Homo-oligomer: A and B are copies of this chain.
Amino acid sequence: MAIHPTALIGAAASIDPSAEIGAFTVVHDNVEIGARCVVGSHCELGVASDLGDGSPLVVGADALIRSHSVFYAGSSFGEGLVTGHRVTVREGTRAGLNFQIGTLGDIQGHCAIGDYVRFHSNVHVGQHTVIEDFVWVFPYVVFTNDPHPPSDVQQGVTVKRFAAVATMSTVLPGVTIGEGALVGACSAVTRDVGDHRIVSGNPASDKGPTSLVKLRDGSGRAAYPWPAHFHRGYPAEVVAEWLAAV
């Protein structure tokens, strides 16, 4: 077990012998870290809070958690988690396989995240958000949950599989983004978005089907559905399944 000598590890923490823990990182007691995980420097894992249910932080095998990240107890991640730097994840977050969270990501907890979901930098996820498999979320996107802030009413956002939400967009409480839909950059999404539709603007309005967008690579191919051409970082068997379905 490659635990840096300056790291502080709780006596009750369960860390696989093949995992690595970086310098000046704090791992509290209520943590389970799987095989071959790599945790960077200056992290804090397994923070306790009154909002947790007593369950541990569970990090599946082969995770890479970059420096200065903070994870609370009471969340779980499937195999292959990858984070940028300075990520914050609160309690009650349930994520599937190979979740990627970019630098400065801020997950407020009590949310459900599918398999192979990718968040670019600085994504903010309010409580009660539901994100299905293969979704992409780009920098500075915010998923809100309070329809008339401040209040005790919480209506999470739902993003269906293969949807992409582009940079600096905000999705208002209770909205559902349809399967394979595209939210253009800088949009304020106030209403549900249909499957394979493009919306953009503030407030966002429908701009037609995603099939309208062509790849700017000179090929003349359609840019959406993106699984037809974009495979970087996905396992071969996942890509094969996509291509069989297209």
Residues of A bordering B, CB below 8 Å? 6, 8, 23-24, 26, 40-42, 44, 47, 67-68, 70, 84-86, 88, 103-104, 106, 108, 118, 121-122, 124, 136, 138-140, 142, 144, 146-153, 155, 164, 166-168, 170, 172, 185-186, 188, 201-202, 213, 215-217, 223-224, 226, 229-230, 232
Report Cα–Cα, A224/B150, bound state, in Å: 9
| Copies assembled | 3
Question: Which of B24, B104, B223 is A104 in contact with, Cβ under 8 Å?
Answer: B104
- State the majority secondary structure of interface residues on A: loop
Question: Which of B42, B84, B230 is A42 in contact with, Cβ under 8 Å?
Answer: B42
Contact present for B138 and A149 (CB under 8 Å): yes
Report Cα–Cα, A157/B119, bound state, in Å: 21
Contact present for A216 and B106 (CB under 8 Å): no
Residues from chain B with a CB closer than 8 A to the CB of A44 are 40-42, 67
Q: Which 5 A-B residue pairings sit nearest by Cβ, starting from the closest?
A: A148-B223, A186-B188, A168-B170, A147-B216, A136-B150
Residues from chain B with a CB closer than 8 A to the CB of A8 are 6, 23
Question: Which of B86, B153, B170 is A186 in contact with, Cβ under 8 Å?
Answer: B170
Report Cα–Cα, A149/B182, bound state, in Å: 9
How far in angstroms is the closest Cβ of chain B from A121? 5
A8-B6, A122-B106 known; A150-B164 Cβ under 8 A? yes
